[in-house]
Chains A and B, each alone.
Chain A
Amino acid sequence: MDPLYLALSLFRRRKFDKCAEVCSEILESQPLDQAAWCLKMRALTQRVYVDDIESEDLYEGDFLDDNAVATAPRPGTSIKTAAPTTSVRPNTSTGRPISGVARPGTQLRPGSALDRLKTARPASQSARAIRLGTAAMYSQKEGPFIQVSRLNIAKYAKNSGLSKPLFEYLFYHEGDVRNAMELAVQATQFCRFEDWWWKVQLGKCYIALNLIRDAEQQMRSALKQHHHVESFIRLTRIYLRLDQPLSAVEICKAGLEIFPNDVSIMTELARLYENLNETAPSVKFYRSVVIEDAMNTEAIACIGMYHFYNNQPEMALRYYRRVLAMGAHSAELYNNLGLCCLYSQQLDLTTSLFQRALDLAIDPLIKAEVWYNLSHLALSAGDLELAVQCLNLCLSSDSTHASAFNNLAVLHHKMGRINLAKAYFTSAAALDPNLYEPKTNLEFLQIPRRGGTASALGRGTTKLAARSVRPAALAARGGAPRTGRFRAQNRTGRAHSSDVLPRSVPDRSRVEIGNLVEEHLCRLIETALSGSAKARVWCLWVLCVVNSPELGIAPEWGCGGTVFRIFLSAHGEDSFTERALICPNSKELCQRSEHCFNLH
């Protein structure tokens, strides 16, 4: 068989190593065979090629550069300052809006950009460039295939057949952005700036060199010549680097006008909205993605998570089961299925699902999260000892789990071990400065009690905030899975109440327990602890009742209930059933309570 034909066939079958070998043989006998040379370049490039759009991090500012214009942008106009959340959806441990899928960018290490650099994995641009560079070393057995320093770039720039493969080889395989760029500059000059492809490549080079503004120019110029989905998405990423998400949204929408219903652009848009903490438009676009591509795991998982945090665990369960049916098989998925079952009261399945999650969890971080969720299961069953044990196991896997420390402290406090609780709260606060619960709890413990007994200290409410999942497809790239977090608060008396009223976010609300209603409340809380979705409703009801004196309404049950119902109708976008249940209230009462909410 003709060796070149063989090589081509190998290349088509994606057997790049063999293809490269065959090409090397051809080149040994005929060193000037351009076809073989080109094929070898392509084979070597394809072997190390990574989708650099998908693997691009959400960029939050490297140190030594400040591409973003605004240092203190208005909330909602910047990735750094996502609009204050109005849903029950919690943030990740680093304060980023949580997503259904772990992607680069959904997780960031805590602290400033410089702090992150000091830790083991610098998530910086420079690090990525180094990584691309090292990929090249791997394949060099008998010296490099192409001596880049001896390459006559001007010559190859004029050969339109060779220049493009050579560029990709230099850019992806060698990681030599400088020379790749030199080639791109000369090639684009050679074709008199008429080839959009070179402009996109130039933009890529500029991004790698951190010359964002120049990259922007190239991409815009490329888009003027030719509409391409990749150009749109790269331009979007450029605006994210400049921390201008609204410009990025604009670009995506312009792209959608040209490529209606394009999955990549819609996914990009959905992610953007997710990052901006605007769940409703985000889910809208994810739904459109699913209509186009019913197998899109990311979209399905994100919609599932949306339903989960929207108090519809049953719906979430359906989406996650769909992911499962598509063949995903991972600890995160089972974990999420477990949580859904737990909240939709399918308790028989819950433990077995968590069991599977534990079996599949290899990464200690994921294991820790599963144990953490299991502690919730134990709490729902009212088994405090088991909960403590689960939390201890969680901490043995991941000793930096701040939420676990916090919950452990609450449980110990409940059991009367106040000093131990204090110690745990302190470590929780130290581990994650963004977490407010340990701080509030510590503050509370510092306050000298006035004439109250230990029992008057009372109970914390548990706010069950389950966290999302990550399908297996993307699990390989580090970071912890999103799982539930237990938020607890201990407070006493009415004296220090004013500062912690729920600021329109029921999830973050803290409960003030009045001595008067304490008994009733205890019962309700216990119902809540038994772990049904209805109980969550009860729990919120309690919350409203307890807060009602501050809302200016007489502390009576009915009013509190109304307040809560309005809450539901205001926030549960999809909870039409609940709204229907609650509707028969008098209009006047609704207005009154709405007014009260506006006061706060």
Chain B
Amino acid sequence: MDKQIRPVFTLELNHKIVPGLVTIGKYDGTHPCLTAATTADKVLIHSPHRKNPNTVGRVVWSESNREIATLNINQTITALTAGVLVPEDDKDVLIVGSETHILVYHVHDNKDVFYKECHDGVKAITLGGFRDGKMPIVMVGGNSSVHGFDHQGNEVFWTAVGDVVTSLILMDFDKDGSNELVVSSEDFKIRVFKGDQIINEQVETEVVTGLAPLPENRFAYSVSNGTVGVYDQDVRLWRVKSKHFAISMQSYDLLGQGSTQLITGWSNGKIDCRSIKTGEVLFKDTMNSGVAGVVEGDYRSVGKTDAICASSEGEVRGYTTTKSLSTPPGAGLEQDTVRELLARKQALSLELKHYENNTKYNENAYNQMDSYESNGVIPANTRLQIGIATSDDKSKHNHVEVYVSTNNTTIIKAVLIFAEGIFKGETHVVHPPQNKLSSDILIPLYIPRDTPVDIHIKALVGYPNSVQFHVFEITRQLPRFSMYALLTASPPYDSFVEFKINDRLQRICMWLNQNFLFPNDIEADGTSLKLHLKCLRDASVLTLSFDASGKTLFFTENMALAADLVQSLATFLKIESLESKVSFPKQEDTLKICMEKLGEIQDARLRLGTDVADRIGLIRGLVIRAEDCRINDIDEMAKYYVELDRVNKELISSYNIRLQNYNEGLETMKNINSIIQRASRLRVGPNSSTMINHCRAAIKNNNIEGLLKIIRTGEL
């Protein structure tokens, strides 16, 4: 593109900024202030519009830059956001998340709105209306749950997510006029919550790192493998992949098109502006270091917002809407179309030429069999056959096997499989050694998760000595539960989920055939159906039992699998609400142990905290005494410093103990939350959300028995 957009302002903050932790807030109600977390655990507030004199009292603003003030947080900052929270106050508050606490701070008045401990950690924060949408809520995403707080710090929302939350946004997902909560987590999923209920779930190929709301009910997402894409409700409009990672996304009308574009800041310092509908790059610029954040605000006091990009080295650039005059959009479109058509014409003529060549050889086919090989031509009737099956060979193959063969003497030189999320990277190439080339090939695939996978197979077909090969392309979809092989019988289990559905067995058979890889389609005969399956990953056994009366039982020790099955079945049968009885003795034991451990850890945490504080007090005293000795009694000084050294070492070791305690606590919390989350997924609809609320209450009261009962029956 030949459009020239130059930054309207640039400035240097002279502080290093943590990527991703950049926001903007109008702390005095009118003037926006760029706010960022620095690498020194401080929050930096850049307020170029500040009118107060600099020399009041003893305040010393930063020597190098008088527009910058910093806030002490004293903990690693993990999330940062700003917005209006307090009712009847138009001033923005700053919300700072650290590993264990959330601080909601009124910058203008220098006072806390609230300060709260989050045992679950703080990984992402967002602010906005939710549910009825009247009062803004602070949503805090932790290691395995999402909490919502009102402006007084009361918890008004809680849900378990199952893995570390990476990003949160509040947006109107389903066009009903009220906001839904979109959560991305480290288990590669993007979930949409409406109230307490999950209304949508998308699985990406890697950890989703960022989300950004876009106008017209769309949202953008970024993935840790460098992908950026846009969803319009549950439809992915586009995605692109880059070898760098997107740090920040913001919608802003940079090109004056009347609608906004998606501005993305990348880890290598690239800023690009893409069309929201197509993902086409409309503008690019590069900063000298990685982008730390892109925000929008009226930074020049001109009454119009600018897109402000901050880099991790503290460089700030502002861009504003620039209508390009050099190339009218119409002319560009025309040229592009011509270019595109020309390219297509060339491709078509090339293809035609190939066909002509082929026909020539095929005419001579019968009398010149040998020349195929030398000429790189294969018989026209060559077909590629594909079979997909689960291997039930107990000894070695725990895989889904893809069998590829040709129907004549031609051999398969290599097979390329393109699929997401089942290999490292995106492609898998199988090419047997020269002496083992044959007309068929068996490719074992290991599918790590129970998700439907599209596999694109490209097979290179020819003769052993050919130089040129023909490429056959085939696309297949692997069903969701493909890693399960049929067994004839299995021992009974005491871990099961039981529920009742009102549907015919034939429909259930349809579901089974769609979602499993069976050698033959399952037919419903009689009044009940019982299937014994073996998981190829860990050789555990799964038994599905259906009854004509609708009573359904899934026997498995794997709660997550049971949850997946329930959810899949409910989606297939369009069940709105489902209550189930659950029995997973092993998980219950784990839960019981975890809850007890959590109690112990919290007790220990208190003691360790005071330990550290006590030692810090000691150190403070020792430093003073040692320094006093420097003046009064130099010989004593060494004694105090030796003591100081000892206490300091103790402090470090107690800190390490505390850290370990903290990590253990986090892990335990995560286990508990993931069990709850799975248990909730064993129910469908309102039942699952009521169950989660009951669980929260039980955890708050440390009611272990109650918690187990809720998990078993869904009721308290």
A residues with CB within 8 A of B: 62-75, 77-78, 80-84, 95, 117-118, 122, 124-127, 129-130, 177-178, 181-182, 185, 205, 209-211, 213-214, 216-217, 239, 242-247, 250
B350 at the binding interface (Cβ < 8 Å)? no
21 cross-chain CB contacts under 8 A: A65-B616, A67-B72, A69-B110, A72-B60, A74-B108, A75-B52, A77-B110, A80-B57, A125-B617, A126-B624, A129-B617, A209-B610, A209-B614, A210-B616, A210-B617, A217-B117, A244-B110, A244-B111, A245-B110, A246-B110, A246-B111
Q: Which residues of B contact A75 (CB under 8 A)?
A: 52, 56-57, 59
For A66, give its contact among B72, B111, B610 (CB under 8 Å): B72
For A242, give its contact among B42, B73, B112 (CB under 8 Å): B112
B567 at the binding interface (Cβ < 8 Å)? no
Q: Which residues of B contact A122 (CB under 8 A)?
A: 624
Q: Which residues of B contact A213 (CB under 8 A)?
A: 101, 115
Given A95-B57, A178-B610, A210-B617, A66-B74 contact (CB < 8 Å): yes
Judge whether B111 and A250 touch: CB under 8 Å: yes
Given A64-B616, A126-B624, A247-B112, A80-B101 contact (CB < 8 Å): no
- Nearest Cβ distance between residue B174 and chain A, in whole angstroms? 38
Q: Which residues of A contact B394 (CB under 8 A)?
A: none
For A77, give its contact among B70, B111, B623 (CB under 8 Å): B111
Q: Which of B602-634 contact A (CB under 8 A)?
A: 606-607, 609-610, 613-614, 616-617, 619-621, 623-624, 627
Q: Which residues of A contact B69 (CB under 8 A)?
A: 70-73
Q: How distant is the Cα of A513 from the Cα of B706 in the complex, in angstroms?
A: 86
B700 at the binding interface (Cβ < 8 Å)? no
Q: Which residue of B lies closest to A95 (CB)?
A: B58
Judge whether B110 and A74 touch: CB under 8 Å: yes
- Nearest Cβ distance between residue A577 and chain B, in whole angstroms? 33
Judge whether A216 and B59 touch: CB under 8 Å: no
Q: Which residues of B contact A242 (CB under 8 A)?
A: 112
Please count how many residues in chain B sit with their CB below 8 Å of the partner chain's CB atoms: 41
> 1/0 per position for B99-133, CB-CB distance to A under 8 A?
00101010111111001010000000000000000
Judge whether B610 and A181 touch: CB under 8 Å: yes
Judge whether B58 and A81 touch: CB under 8 Å: yes
Q: Which residues of B contact A117 (CB under 8 A)?
A: 624, 627
Judge whether A81 and B111 touch: CB under 8 Å: no
B348 at the binding interface (Cβ < 8 Å)? no
Q: Which residue of A lies closest to B628 (CB)?
A: A118
Number of A-B contacts (CB under 8 A): 121
Judge whether B109 and A246 touch: CB under 8 Å: yes
Q: How distant is the Cα of A127 from the Cα of B623 in the complex, in angstroms?
A: 12
Q: How distant is the Cα of A243 from the Cα of B112 in the complex, in angstroms?
A: 10
Judge whether A71 and B111 touch: CB under 8 Å: no
- Nearest Cβ distance between residue A148 and chain B, in whole angstroms? 15
For A64, give its contact among B71, B105, B610, B623 (CB under 8 Å): B623
Judge whether B117 and A243 touch: CB under 8 Å: no
- Nearest Cβ distance between residue B477 and chain A, in whole angstroms? 53
B472 at the binding interface (Cβ < 8 Å)? no
Judge whether A63 and B620 touch: CB under 8 Å: yes
For A178, give its contact among B58, B73, B614, B623 (CB under 8 Å): B614
Q: Which residues of A contact B110 (CB under 8 A)?
A: 69-70, 73-74, 77-78, 243-246
Judge whether A68 and B57 touch: CB under 8 Å: no
Q: Which residues of B contact A127 (CB under 8 A)?
A: 621, 624
Judge whether B71 and A70 touch: CB under 8 Å: yes
Given A66-B74, A70-B69, A118-B56 contact (CB < 8 Å): no
Q: Which residues of A contact B606 (CB under 8 A)?
A: 185
- Nearest Cβ distance between residue B448 and chain A, in whole angstroms? 43
Q: How distant is the Cα of A269 from the Cα of B400 in the complex, in angstroms?
A: 75
- Nearest Cβ distance between residue A212 and chain B, in whole angstroms? 10
- Nearest Cβ distance between residue A98 and chain B, in whole angstroms? 14
B493 at the binding interface (Cβ < 8 Å)? no
- Nearest Cβ distance between residue B612 and chain A, in whole angstroms? 9
Judge whether B621 and A130 touch: CB under 8 Å: yes
Q: Which residues of B contact A216 (CB under 8 A)?
A: 115
Question: Which of A122, A125, A205 gathers the greatest number of chain B CB atoms within 10 Å?
Answer: A122
Given A211-B610, A216-B115, A71-B72 contact (CB < 8 Å): yes
Majority DSSP secondary structure for residues of B touching A: mixed
B9 at the binding interface (Cβ < 8 Å)? no
B61 at the binding interface (Cβ < 8 Å)? yes
Q: Which residues of A contact B623 (CB under 8 A)?
A: 63-64
Given A66-B72, A71-B71, A209-B614, A124-B620 contact (CB < 8 Å): yes
Judge whether A77 and B59 touch: CB under 8 Å: no
Q: Which residues of A contact B71 (CB under 8 A)?
A: 69-71
For A69, give its contact among B103, B607, B616, B617 (CB under 8 Å): B103
Q: How distant is the Cα of A177 from the Cα of B617 in the complex, in angstroms?
A: 11
Q: Which residues of B contact A239 (CB under 8 A)?
A: 111-112
Q: How distant is the Cα of A211 from the Cα of B59 in the complex, in angstroms?
A: 25
Q: Which residue of A lies closest to B42 (CB)?
A: A71
Q: Which residue of B lies closest to A72 (CB)?
A: B69
- Nearest Cβ distance between residue B648 and chain A, in whole angstroms? 12
Judge whether A81 and B59 touch: CB under 8 Å: yes
Q: Which residue of A lies closest to B630 (CB)?
A: A118
> 1/0 per position for B77-117, CB-CB distance to A under 8 A?
00000000000000000000000010101011111100101
Q: Which residues of A contact B109 (CB under 8 A)?
A: 74, 77, 246
Task: Give me 11 other A-B pairs in contact (C-beta within 8 A), A71-B69, A210-B616, A239-B112 excluded.
Answer: A70-B69, A70-B107, A80-B57, A81-B57, A124-B620, A129-B621, A178-B614, A211-B610, A213-B115, A244-B110, A247-B112
Q: How distant is the Cα of A78 from the Cα of B109 in the complex, in angstroms?
A: 9
Judge whether B52 and A74 touch: CB under 8 Å: yes
Task: Give the 8 A-B CB pairs with smallest separation, nearest first.
Answer: A77-B110, A81-B57, A247-B111, A72-B69, A73-B110, A209-B613, A75-B56, A66-B72
- Nearest Cβ distance between residue A55 and chain B, in whole angstroms? 18
Q: Which residues of A contact B103 (CB under 8 A)?
A: 69
Q: How distant is the Cα of A243 from the Cα of B117 in the complex, in angstroms?
A: 20
- Nearest Cβ distance between residue A224 and chain B, in whole angstroms? 11
Q: Which of B42-75 contact A (CB under 8 A)?
A: 42, 52-53, 56-62, 69-74
Question: Which of B72, B73, B110, B115 gathers the greatest number of chain A CB atoms within 10 Å?
Answer: B110
- Nearest Cβ distance between residue B116 and chain A, in whole angstroms? 8
Judge whether B609 and A214 touch: CB under 8 Å: yes
- Nearest Cβ distance between residue A495 and chain B, in whole angstroms? 24
Q: Which residue of B lies closest to A211 (CB)?
A: B613
- Nearest Cβ distance between residue B91 and chain A, in whole angstroms? 12
Judge whether B616 and A124 touch: CB under 8 Å: no
- Nearest Cβ distance between residue B644 and chain A, in whole angstroms? 12
Q: Which residues of B contact A245 (CB under 8 A)?
A: 110
Q: Which residues of A contact B609 (CB under 8 A)?
A: 211, 214
Judge whether B58 and A209 touch: CB under 8 Å: no
Q: Which residues of B contact A178 (CB under 8 A)?
A: 610, 614
Q: Which residues of A contact B610 (CB under 8 A)?
A: 178, 181, 205, 209, 211
Judge whether B72 and A69 touch: CB under 8 Å: yes
Q: Which residues of B contact A80 (CB under 8 A)?
A: 57-59
Q: How distant is the Cα of A209 from the Cα of B616 in the complex, in angstroms?
A: 9
Judge whether B613 and A210 touch: CB under 8 Å: yes
Question: Which of A62, A71, A78 gathers the greatest number of chain B CB atoms within 10 Å?
Answer: A71
Q: How distant is the Cα of A247 from the Cα of B73 in the complex, in angstroms?
A: 18
Q: How distant is the Cα of A65 from the Cα of B108 in the complex, in angstroms?
A: 23
Q: How distant is the Cα of A542 from the Cα of B653 in the complex, in angstroms?
A: 69
Q: Which residue of B lies closest to A68 (CB)?
A: B72
Q: How distant is the Cα of A557 from the Cα of B390 in the complex, in angstroms?
A: 107
- Nearest Cβ distance between residue A112 and chain B, in whole angstroms? 9
Q: Which residues of B contact A67 (CB under 8 A)?
A: 72, 74
> 1/0 per position for B207-230, CB-CB distance to A under 8 A?
000000000000000000000000
Q: Which residue of A lies closest to B68 (CB)?
A: A72
- Nearest Cβ distance between residue A108 and chain B, in whole angstroms? 10
Judge whether A71 and B70 touch: CB under 8 Å: yes
Q: How distant is the Cα of A81 from the Cα of B59 in the complex, in angstroms?
A: 6
Question: Which of B61, B105, B624, B627 gathers the greatest number of chain A CB atoms within 10 Å?
Answer: B624
Q: Which residues of B contact A72 (CB under 8 A)?
A: 59-62, 69-70
For B620, give its contact among A81, A84, A126 (CB under 8 Å): A126
